[in-house]
Amino acid sequence: MNQQRRDALRLSTVLGLAVATGLMSPLEALAAEGWNSAAFDTKNLNDTVKALGGRSAAPSIHLLINAPEIAENGAVVPISVTTSLPNVQQIAILVEKNPNALSANFTIPAGTEAYVSTRVKMAQTSNVYALAKVDGKWLVASKEIKVTLGGCGG
Is the confidence at residue 74, as pLDDT, over 80? Answer: yes
β 88-95/63-66 pair status: unpaired
Mean pLDDT, residues 39-60: 91
Q: Write the single-letter amino acid at 134.
A: V
Residue 101, H or E segment: none
What are the strands, taking DSSP E only, across 84-122? 88-95, 102-107, 115-120
Assign 45 to helix, strand or coil.
Answer: helix
Phi, psi of 85 (to 5 degrees): -65, 145
pTM here is: 0.75
CA end-to-end span of the chain, whole Å?
44
Distance CA 144, CA 87 (A): 27
Tens of pLDDT along 24-46? Answer: 555 554 544 555 678 888 889 99
Distance CA 79, CA 135 (A): 24
Residue bearing the bigger pLDDT, 32 or 113: 113
Domain boundaries 36-147, corresponding CATH code: 2.60.40.2470
Is the confidence at residue 79, as pLDDT, over 90? Answer: yes
Q: Where are the domains of the chain?
A: 1-35, 36-147
Residues 6+ away with beta carbon under 8 Å from 69: 145, 146
